Structure 1
Amino acid sequence: MAKLPRPPTIPQPARETLRHALLGLLRNESLSAHDLSAALRIREKDVYAHLEHLRRSLGTGGEHLEITPAQCRGCGFVFAKRERLTPPGKCPACRKEAISDPRFRIILR
């Protein structure tokens, strides 16, 4: 039995990359990693990896990744000196685990 020839495949139109979509969201407003993962439909863990890459790559242009630090909901302690993008597990002052997520935004320098 002879095989029928396959119809030619039509390539998918080029879509916006994940990081470009992330840039677009962060230029409009300040968002947490949870908000970004819901908007982009990716895991929150992956959002932090993309944000780290954006932080390094934006340093060469005129833009900057602004980070509003995490804050303890119990005592109000602000994690201002934290370099990591992920939220901390516990507050060093009151030892509570109720901590708001850091928020991210892209601004012009």
Structure 2
Amino acid sequence: MMTRRQRIIKLLEERDYSPSELALALDMRGKGAKKVILEDLKAIQKTLRREGKVLLIKPAECRKCGFLFPPEIKVPSRCPRCKSEWIEEPRFRIGSG
């Protein structure tokens, strides 16, 4: 039986996912699911470094004005430029270092 983090790693080795998509793929529901996924991604990033792999991050982007956020393991709630809350979540994938 694989742990949740092992399942996330397996998924991210296949293609890129947003935190919401990972929560759905793992059948995690509820308000805190995305937060749990983000915490798992931070831990996975450290694990991957030790294995010579990297967690690739496509940054979050404002769908209204196109502002690109820094590539971080977090989901912004509001655009600093136009104040829109219409934010495309960051996407994550595992690549070789």
Q: TM-score, normalised by structure 1?
A: 0.80
Larger Rg: 1
Matched, 1:24 2:14: no
Alignment partners' CA distance in 1, 2:39 and 2:14: 20
Provide the rounded CA distance (Å) in 2 between the counterparts of 1:27 and 1:78.
Answer: 24
CA distance in 1, matches of 2:85, 2:45: 27
Task: Tell me whether 1:102 sits opposite 2:90 in the alignment.
Answer: yes
Hey, what's the Cα distance between the residues in 2 that align with 1:99 and 1:61?
32
Cα deviation code 1:22-51 (max 9, x no counterpart): 110000000000000011122222111110
Q: 1:37 aligns with which of 20, 23, 30?
A: 23
SS at 1:74's partner residue? coil
Write the distance in 1 (CA, Å) between the matches of 2:16 and 2:84: 25
Q: Aligned-pair distance for 1:74?
A: 0.5
* 1:65 match: secondary structure: strand
Structure 2: runs of 5 or more not aligned? none
Pick aligned residue for 1:75 from 65, 81, 85 = 65
Q: Would you say 1:90 and 2:90 are equivalent positions?
A: no
Q: 2:52 aligns with which of 46, 50, 62?
A: 62
Structure 1's unaligned 5+ residue stretches are 1-14
TM-score normalised by length of structure 2: 0.90
Pairs aligned (count): 93
